[in-house]
Structure 1
Amino acid sequence: MKPARTELLVPDEAGLARAAAILRAGGLVAFPTETVYGLGADARDGRAVAAIFEAKGRPRFNPLIVHVPDIAAAREIAVMGDLAEAVAARFWPGPLTLVLPIRPGAGVSELVTAGLESVAIRVPAHPVARALLNTFGGPLAAPSANPSGRVSPTSAAHVLSGLDGRIDAVLDAGPCEVGVESTILSLTGDASVLLREGGVPAEALAAALGAMPVRPDPVNDLRPDSPGQLASHYAPRGTLRLNAARPEPGEVFLGFGPGGGDLTLSEAGDLTEAAARLFGCLHHLDEIGAERIAVAPIPSDGLGAAINDRLRRAAAPRD
């Protein structure tokens, strides 16, 4: 049953208590992380998790990320070997999701894992996310708080533009700092596998792992083995043309670096600023009704790899 309205909550003691009460009752609450806003439900409650898929229009074969407050809570859900412990100690809390073998008896709904024997898990760094997790007292399944396949939200206004009236509440803590989703690293086999570029650059992971993680073969839309693997995703309503030196007639130009454009990710050519602005710019292009969008080239080093990953998926053919 859909809520009569979506509550907008202030992330103070009363707002956090209200959000936790909604979650305990099987409701849906969008909350900020350092990457994007997530749509949270009790990861142990199958009906609540099913409501995430319904609200987003998300395919049920697509796994979800479980958010927990600390490494100790992660150990209760996932089997963490020595390498996972070392990586977690280096990057948690932060914008890194680890795909690990699920612990027998973890108590997480099978809808969260899509029936796989692994679980995607993260300890977010955002103080409001951590406060909510501690107030709620359990793991939260939380994909991005937007209709499936659309642009991810980096503000409460973005959440409401897509999900108002379809979820119970939003904790509004202003814009997200990182602006692209977490990096996803699988440690389920003999090799570390980079499943999604994100807020932790691959170069930083390589320094911690002692080698660059393996990149998998092209994604399989029919049966992804972790969140964030669908080929067409993060899409605005208009079509995108990437690596454009200049716009063609009728195109809106999304620039990067000196010279700008109709809209710019970073006039200074700063990848951190560009990552933080990416989804906000795509939302703005929707708001102005841009039907054809040309995007300037983005360097592929550091956070540029995550930005280009999102842009390629946004530009991918759609059903």
Structure 2
Amino acid sequence: MKTKVAMLSENAVDKRIINDAALKIRDGGIVAFPTETVYGLGADALNEKAVAKIFEAKGRPQDNPLIIHVADFNIDEYVTEVPDMAKDIMQKFWPGPITIILNKKEIVPSITSAGLDTIGIRMPQNNIARELIKASGVPIAAPSANISGRPSPTDMESCVEDLDGKVDYIIGGENSIVGVESTIVDCTVNPICVLRPGAVTLEMLQTVDSNAYIDPAILSKPKEDFRPKAPGMKYRHYAPKAPVKIVSGEIDKVVAKISEMVLNYNEQDKKVGVIATDETKDLYKNQIVVSLGSRENLNDIGKNLFKVLRSFDSMDVNIILCEAFEEVGVGTAIMNRLKKSAGFDILEV
């Protein structure tokens, strides 16, 4: 397959390129495009054959449901009802990095929802994404635009690396400003339940529903027979080529432990990568160190996370050791992605 690649500016969208890509969507093709969270790989959410191409291009498990992306608040065509709590979330956080789970209508194919009676819906903040949805005239089903299991792409170059020759079109734009996938909140239950943490934090959602909580299923390694209700709940995700191990505890003890582990791995002739922060990067010696940013700015940490994880693939490291973060606010989303990338391999010190 020949993949067309085009670069756009979010502030001055070239309608010719948008219309060209939208035609691919309407014809049953698949298109990678930028959003504020990560880049997405989109197809007509109501076209079974088109959605199947997403799973094929990504190598994505069939029981991992997709999210459909819309350009406005008019979602009654796709869901049986929109509860008041869901309306409150939409009014407060749409467009933006949050997906709401609702009971779906039959118009949404089973392949899009992975056989579930529910579907996730979100309205992206990114202008290129919304213009593409509008021009397509259909809701766009879109997981992240990467090979399944790899760190999600936050720039066009990563999309091309993973998907060139596998998709019809790759639209580039600015790098994703959030850097982790959208928060997913189940609005079919009361109180509402977070199925995937993101930039819209639990604390923010509790201003809408004070009883909102995080599903305990995402806090530990899922069992093999677990049936995910939202993307990213079951499978190992966000993983670079080298295995990742997280070290958690007081930061001085974490630095000491990682430094000790580096020496042990070096004695085994293993090349080690360390994911650190601005506050700690100069404390590590004799290994490759990449900083995620300052611990004082978790939004920047989240924005840089996937790019840093991907960067180790070109460094030929044998193992990656990563500092943990406090699971508060955006830190919950950061640790959720790190735990997935590490297959829940965490050392407490």
Tell me which interval the TM-score lies in, with the shorter structure as reference length: over 0.9
Aligned residues: 312
**Cα distance in 1, alignment partners of residues 7 and 277 from structure 2:** 34
Q: Is the 8 A contact 1:32 1:171 kept in 2?
A: yes
CA displacement at 1:296 relative to structure 2: 1.6
**Cα distance in 1, alignment partners of residues 166 and 101 from structure 2:** 29
Aligned to 2:292: 265
CA displacement at 1:226 relative to structure 2: 1.6
For the residue of structure 2 that corresponds to 1:208, the secondary structure is coil
Q: Say which is worse superposed, 62-71 or 75-84, in terms of deviation.
A: 75-84
Q: Is structure 2 residue 5 aligned with structure 1 residue 8?
A: yes
**Cα distance in 2, alignment partners of residues 317 and 212 from structure 1:** 25
Aligned to 2:63: 61
Q: Is the 8 A contact 1:49 1:109 kept in 2?
A: no
For the residue of structure 1 that corresponds to 2:195, the secondary structure is strand
> Which ranges of structure 1 fall in alignment gaps of 5 or more residues?
none
Q: Give 1:238's match in structure 2, choosing from 234, 239, 242.
A: 242
- Residue type matched to 1:31 in 2? F
CA RMSD between the two structures: 1.6
Instruction: Tell me the alpha carbon deviations over residues 239-263 of structure 1, each in whole angstroms, 9 at most, x when there is no partner.
Output: 1111242341342111024132611
- Residue type matched to 2:146 in 1? N
For the residue of structure 2 that corresponds to 1:49, the secondary structure is helix
CA displacement at 1:268 relative to structure 2: 5.6
CA displacement at 1:211 relative to structure 2: 2.4
**Cα distance in 2, alignment partners of residues 210 and 76 from structure 1:** 29
Q: Say which is worse superposed, 27-36 or 7-16, in terms of deviation.
A: 7-16
For the residue of structure 2 that corresponds to 1:51, the secondary structure is helix
Counterparts in 2 of 1:97-246, with a 5 A limit?
A: 97-103=99-105, 105=106, 107-217=107-217, 218=220, 219-222=222-225, 223-243=227-247, 244-245=254-255, 246=258
Instruction: Tell me the alpha carbon deviations over residues 92-120 of structure 1, each in whole angstroms, 9 at most, x when there is no partner.
Output: 111001111113x4x22210011211111
Q: Say which is worse superposed, 229-238 or 205-214, in terms of deviation.
A: 205-214
CA displacement at 1:214 relative to structure 2: 4.0
**Cα distance in 1, alignment partners of residues 338 and 328 from structure 2:** 15
Q: Is the 8 A contact 1:97 1:183 kept in 2?
A: yes
**Cα distance in 2, alignment partners of residues 220 and 116 from structure 1:** 19
Larger Rg: 2
Q: Say which is worse superposed, 242-251 or 183-192, in terms of deviation.
A: 242-251
Aligned to 1:302: 329
Aligned to 1:94: 96
**Cα distance in 1, alignment partners of residues 224 and 27 from structure 2:** 33
CA displacement at 1:231 relative to structure 2: 4.0
**Cα distance in 1, alignment partners of residues 164 and 314 from structure 2:** 16
**Cα distance in 1, alignment partners of residues 212 and 185 from structure 2:** 11
For the residue of structure 2 that corresponds to 1:121, the secondary structure is strand
Q: Is structure 2 residue 274 aligned with structure 1 residue 253?
A: yes
Q: 1:256 to 1:269 in 2, by over 3 A?
A: farther
For the residue of structure 1 that corresponds to 2:133, the secondary structure is helix
Instruction: Tell me the alpha carbon deviations over residues 50-98 of structure 1, each in whole angstroms, 9 at most, x when there is no partner.
Output: 00000000111111000001111x2221221111111111111110011
CA displacement at 1:192 relative to structure 2: 1.1
**Cα distance in 1, alignment partners of residues 167 and 276 from structure 2:** 34
Q: Say which is worse superposed, 266-275 or 299-308, in terms of deviation.
A: 266-275
> Which ranges of structure 2 fall in alignment gaps of 5 or more residues?
9-13, 248-253, 264-270, 283-288
Q: Give 2:48's match in structure 1, choosing from 46, 49, 63.
A: 46
- Residue type matched to 2:128 in 1? V
- Residue type matched to 2:52 in 1? A
For the residue of structure 1 that corresponds to 2:207, the secondary structure is helix
The percent of aligned pairs where both chains have the same amino acid is 37
**Cα distance in 2, alignment partners of residues 212 and 14 from structure 1:** 43
Aligned to 1:313: 340
- Residue type matched to 1:77 in 2? Y
**Cα distance in 2, alignment partners of residues 317 and 85 from structure 1:** 35
Q: Is the 8 A contact 2:181 2:198 kept in 1?
A: yes
**Cα distance in 2, alignment partners of residues 90 and 251 from structure 1:** 44
- Residue type matched to 2:17 in 1? G
For the residue of structure 2 that corresponds to 1:207, the secondary structure is coil
Aligned to 2:266: none
Q: Give 1:20's match in structure 2, choosing from 19, 22, 46.
A: 22
For the residue of structure 1 that corresponds to 2:340, the secondary structure is helix
**Cα distance in 2, alignment partners of residues 66 and 137 from structure 1:** 13
Q: 1:309 to 1:268 in 2, by over 3 A?
A: closer
- Residue type matched to 2:6 in 1? L
TM-score when normalising by structure 2: 0.86
